[in-house]
Structure 1
């Protein structure tokens, strides 16, 4: 595919890196010569310095024969205008824009994005996507990642195995024998920093991070089986009252009838006053989340979860460490810069959320070929969990999986047929319109696209 990316910041570069790695024809535009130089030096992409919403720059970038434009600059209006020009002047088929301001996303303005008004095919809201990731983390504290697929019927969870895990040193194939009604599949393991797809004879070890695909209704049981009995967070302290913090607090307020209590620490007095007016039952404290006294006033020492969601990575990391030291049962934080990745595991924080990874995931699902409906990268892009739809022409349809010639590095975790989730085995046959959740190592993604492609004869 020929793809134009507007914006060479962390998200734009992350998308360019992934797409270029898969042999797409990628061009990236940014007003910063420094960013363009850095991207073109590191990646096999073309770069142009200029405004992504200017027609002449888009034309130079090859907009006349582009298949897709992805506008992810820091300015919503530039992203929206880039898509409008891409449509009106260059007839680019697919237009994706990152839109952060919540007022643009209000349902009452939904007609704004019609083809006759502002023709954006896909709107990505990082704040909403990250907020939902935080909420899932609060609801399933035993998993350090949790992503839903197939209208939330299937969940992919990342779980760290501790010394209380009852099934360590057990070959994976025995899990089915021990728990025949368990609707879950271990699809990958990270051991000593290396990600691999296990075989039935492989065992899980203490300290492993495992990725499990399961029926959503059995998520808590699966976590318990792997040694995690943590309950959903009821007492939550949030550092940062920006768009993400406000979104999470608003959603948590809806659960307060179930005993959920929320406090927010916000350093900006004006912002603290503003969100205090918007929130009905959340206590808003003005000050720095790195002040020990304020953390104690917010009740960090009694919190089930402390969540750091400010715009400053260093503040998020340090305040999460302090909250954990004060006694918070769980602490996790937002970390935007990949520069911290090599040292994150040394801080004792339970989980990190990357806005870049969440946004890239949201965009990739619209770039993938075939009938791929969902994508979530794991382990910094070394692997992916994908949701695909099988069509009559897909090569894997109508034969037992043991005969489907699935490549090494690919494992099917769950199949949803007529609304029912099942865990496949070698005798399972995939049928048209099945929704399948698969794990694939990064180098195998093209193979998955091939397995679920739409043949030309279909048309």
Structure 2
């Protein structure tokens, strides 16, 4: 696929790096010559210097033969104009824009991005996506990651396997017999920086990250089975009162019994946070200092969330908070090399905004009826929810660990409001929503499962 990415900053580079791994033909546009030099040197992309909203610049980037344009410049308005020019002058099929200002995203103005409006096919708001991911993580405190599928009925949870866990060294196809009342299924394993879709005789080892699909109402039980009992999170400190921090604080204010404090270094932003929040204490100061963390009661907090605009600061805040007594710390980290460093520093959780943004874009790029998708382990694996059409090769096929091609594991079927976890006895029907975990080398095979066969016509 031919893709133009407008904006060669942190978000644009993250998207380009991920898409380049799939051998897409990528061109990046930016006005900053330095950024263009960086992406052409470090990434397998072509760079064009100029204003991406100008028709001649889009033409030089190959707009007349482009399949998708992704506008992630610093300006919402420029991103909108880029998509409008791409649609009107170049008829580019798929147009994606990053929109940060919440005013544009209110439901009252939804028609702005419709076919009769700006013609934007997908609006991405990394701040909202990150905020939702943090709130989701708040509900599953023992997990290193958590994402929902099937209107929230099923969660995919990443959870570390501890030395005294009762699931150690047990073949995966025997786990259901050990915990018959638990609606869950291990669908992926990350071990020694390698992630794979397991077979039935595989087992979990100490230090693994197990990716488990679980019924939402059983998520808390899963923690205890993996021997990670977690008390409810009641006291939260958020460092960074920008878009992400403010969004999370508002979300937590809606939950009863949760006390939230926000630390913000910029006085103007701190005052804005005060005006937007009702039950949250806002502290003006540097969250990287012990005095401010102590003033916010971080040493006795259940959770500290570092959401500043600087990856290194977020990592250091999380580490310092842990040293001072915080039970758990979550850091927002964009740079992949720093994310790995954060994990080596034993932070409880690292949230990568790039992965959330890329997942939304990949969903638009995948062929077939794929309704939801999450990229995992820096693109090494994915989990997708797709619809089985009448000609799908999945229909009638057994969904045991060893029944699908190697590299693919079935998680569950969502049928008529019911969640049916995969077993050798479960077989998909037409129009089922099937949740599959797969190594990205098996992407084309998964796409075939959710495509209409040519024989159908």
Matched, 1:260 2:265: no
Matched, 1:219 2:192: no
Contact 2:172 2:202 in 1 (8 A): yes
Cα deviation, residue 335, structure 1: 0.9
Contact 1:140 1:232 in 2 (8 A): no
Matched, 1:271 2:269: yes
Secondary structure, counterpart of 1:190 in structure 2? strand
Cα deviation, residue 317, structure 1: 1.0
Mapping of 1:359-398 within 5 angstroms? 359-398=357-396
Secondary structure, counterpart of 1:365 in structure 2? helix
Per the alignment, do residues 395 and 264 of structure 1 end up closer, same or farther by CA in structure 2, a change over 3 Å counting?
same
Contact 1:71 1:96 in 2 (8 A): yes
CA RMSD of aligned residues (A): 1.9
Aligned to 1:133: 133
Secondary structure, counterpart of 1:13 in structure 2? helix
In 2: Cα distance, 1:44 partner to 1:270 partner? 41
In 2: Cα distance, 1:313 partner to 1:341 partner? 9
The counterpart of 1:287, out of the listed 285, 288, 305, is 285
Mapping of 1:312-327 within 5 angstroms? 312-327=310-325
In 1: Cα distance, 2:305 partner to 2:356 partner? 17
Cα deviation, residue 245, structure 1: 0.4
The counterpart of 1:456, out of the listed 435, 444, 454, is 454
In 2: Cα distance, 1:135 partner to 1:332 partner? 12
Cα deviation, residue 43, structure 1: 4.2
Mapping of 1:95-106 within 5 angstroms? 95-106=95-106
Contact 1:69 1:92 in 2 (8 A): yes
Contact 1:214 1:414 in 2 (8 A): no
Cα deviation, residue 11, structure 1: 2.5
Per the alignment, do residues 16 and 49 of structure 1 end up closer, same or farther by CA in structure 2, a change over 3 Å counting?
same
Mapping of 1:5-404 within 5 angstroms? 5-255=5-255, 258-401=256-399
In 2: Cα distance, 1:100 partner to 1:458 partner? 42
Per the alignment, do residues 418 and 261 of structure 1 end up closer, same or farther by CA in structure 2, a change over 3 Å counting?
same
Cα deviation, residue 426, structure 1: 2.3
Deviations 1:89-122 (A, max 9, x none): 1122221101111122122222222323222121
Cα deviation, residue 187, structure 1: 1.2
Cα deviation, residue 7, structure 1: 1.8
In 2: Cα distance, 1:340 partner to 1:117 partner? 40
Cα deviation, residue 405, structure 1: 6.5
Secondary structure, counterpart of 1:109 in structure 2? helix
Cα deviation, residue 159, structure 1: 0.1
In 1: Cα distance, 2:125 partner to 2:383 partner? 21
In 2: Cα distance, 1:145 partner to 1:430 partner? 28
In 1: Cα distance, 2:335 partner to 2:399 partner? 41
In 2: Cα distance, 1:200 partner to 1:407 partner? 13
Quick check: 281-290 or 170-179, which moved more? Answer: 170-179
In 2: Cα distance, 1:389 partner to 1:272 partner? 46
Aligned to 1:421: 419
The answer for unaligned runs of 5 or more in structure 1 is none
Quick check: 293-302 or 281-290, which moved more? Answer: 293-302
Deviations 1:160-194 (A, max 9, x none): 11233222122212211112232211111122222
The answer for unaligned runs of 5 or more in structure 2 is none
Alignment length (residue pairs): 457
In 2: Cα distance, 1:247 partner to 1:400 partner? 43
Contact 1:366 1:373 in 2 (8 A): no
Secondary structure, counterpart of 2:169 in structure 1? coil
Quick check: 231-240 or 243-252, which moved more? Answer: 231-240
Per the alignment, do residues 154 and 19 of structure 1 end up closer, same or farther by CA in structure 2, a change over 3 Å counting?
same
Cα deviation, residue 23, structure 1: 3.6
In 2: Cα distance, 1:113 partner to 1:163 partner? 51
With normalisation by structure 1, the TM-score equals: 0.95
Contact 2:387 2:431 in 1 (8 A): yes
In 2: Cα distance, 1:441 partner to 1:269 partner? 46
Contact 1:246 1:275 in 2 (8 A): yes
In 2: Cα distance, 1:60 partner to 1:458 partner? 40
Secondary structure, counterpart of 2:29 in structure 1? strand
Secondary structure, counterpart of 1:188 in structure 2? strand
Aligned to 1:440: 438
